[in-house]
Amino acid sequence: MEGWGSGMVRILESCRAAGLPDPCLKDEGNAVKFTVFRTHGSGELGLDGNDAAMLSMMEDDPDVNVSELTEMLGVSRATVNRMISRAKEAGVLSREGSKKTGRWVVSGVGIRGGGRR
Q: Between these two residues, 53 and 47, which has the higher pLDDT value? A: 53
pLDDT for 79:
93
Residue 59 CA, distance from chain mean position: 8
HEC per residue, 55-102: HHHHHHCCCCCHHHHHHHHCCCHHHHHHHHHHHHHCCCEEEECCCCCC
Q: Between these two residues, 12 and 45, which has the higher pLDDT value? A: 12
Q: pLDDT for 49-102, tens place per residue? A: 788 888 888 988 999 999 999 988 889 999 999 999 988 888 889 999 988 889
CATH topology assigned to domain 6-106? Arc Repressor Mutant, subunit A (1.10.10)
Whether the model pTM is above 0.75? no
pLDDT for 45:
59
User: What distance in Å separates the CA atoms of residue 1 and residue 75, rounded to the nearest whole number?
Assistant: 36
pLDDT for 82:
92
Cβ atoms of residues 80 and 70 within 8 Å: yes
Return the domain boundaries, the chain.
Answer: 6-106
